[in-house]
Each structure stands twice: as structure tokens, then as C-alpha cells.
Amino acid sequence: MNSKKIVITGGPSTGKTSIINKIEALGYFCFEEISRQVTLEARKEGIPQLFKTDPLLFSERIMEGRMAQFHASQKVDEPLIFFDRGLPDVTAYMDCFGQEYGPQFVKPIETLRYDHIFLLPPWQEIHASDNERYESYEEALQIHSCLEKTYRDFGYTIIDVPKETVEGRVTFILNALKNT
């Protein structure tokens, strides 16, 4: 089956996970965000905050995980497959925080392509930091700009998702997909 691959992206605390959870509850196939998993695995290895201790290793692990998700999606027999973040998010974050990287990060983004990108805007009222999400709201604004730029630079058309209830946002996304 030729499934459509759909990315839900945005900076921290924009509602991505809530939207993915609701879409999954409606019966759609979803891949969850993996950065928390990478962070928790690093803690088990004795690294309290891998992103801060070894940002390149963190990004490599995230890229590997997202590539694995993309390859796994090619074996899923569903018309729509949703991803909580995509491959371009990795280099967007690296650009945002001034990290250098080589072609091993760019090539997968150029070759493993998604069909639709939905970008969630920064939303101060729902922004929160915790042990895995440590960015301030100001950093969230910067990350949003980097995400938007990176996806556009890789040739994607971005669909901006309005600020509203989770149900309203999910309805917006599903309706937008019906019209493509």
C-alpha cells in the first residue's frame, strides 16, 4: 500500500503529543516522539541530560530512531501514518542551537520524504517545562522559526495548525488531508 506519511511538528509545548494521542485513539496508525525515550535511556546509562552532555550523540540517536520509524512505516498497511516529529526536526534543532553536522544528517532528510507537514505554533498558555522538556518559551519561539525554515528549505509545504482544542485541531488536520 502507498501510505501517506504525515508529520505533526512544532516546538516544545505546542500540543503535538495530545494531537497524536487523539489521532491514535481514532484508529489511525501513529509513531510517537522518541526524544523522551532517548533521554530516559541515557539516564539509565548514567547520563542525566544527554542533550546537554553530548548534543551530537543525542541528535544521532534521535536521527537513528526517526529513520527506524520511517522504515517501519513502509511496512504498515494503512492509508495514513502519522509521526510525532519528522527527520527534519533533528537538523532544525541542531541549527537552532548552533551544532555542526555532516551529510549523515542531511542525506536521510533528502531521501526519506513525508507527504504532509502540519506545524503547530508556539502557545505560551500551554507551555510547560519538565525534566525532559527544559526549553523556555523564548527558546520555543526560536525553535518554531528553525523548524519552519528547515522544512521549507527541504522543499516541504507547511500547513499551519490553528490554536484551538485538541479535537478542533485534529478535525482541522483530518479535513486538510481529505482535500489533498
Which neighbouring-strand residues pair with 29?
81
Task: Indicate the pairing of strand 80-84 with strand 116-120.
Answer: unpaired
**pLDDT of residue 132 exceeding 60:** no
Joined together, the cell numbers standing for residue 152 give 521549507
Contact between 73 and 5 under an 8 Å Cβ cutoff? The reply is yes
Neighbours of 7 (CB within 10 A): 25
DSSP per-residue letters across 14-41: SSHHHHHHHHHHTT-EEEPP-HHHHHHH
pLDDT of the residue at 125: 66
Domain boundaries, the chain: 4-178
Average pLDDT of the chain, as a whole number: 89
Percent residues over pLDDT 70 in the chain: 90
**Which CATH number describes the domain made up of 4-178?**
3.40.50.300
Of the candidates 73, 149, 167, the one whose C-alpha atom is nearest the C-alpha of residue 115 is 73
**pLDDT of residue 64 exceeding 70:** yes
pLDDT of the residue at 124: 64
Confidence of residue 176 (pLDDT cuts 50, 70, 90): very high
Contact between 79 and 58 under an 8 Å Cβ cutoff? The reply is no
pLDDT (tens digit, 9 = 90+) per residue, 72-111?
999 999 999 999 999 999 999 999 989 999 999 999 999 9
Contact between 12 and 143 under an 8 Å Cβ cutoff? The reply is yes
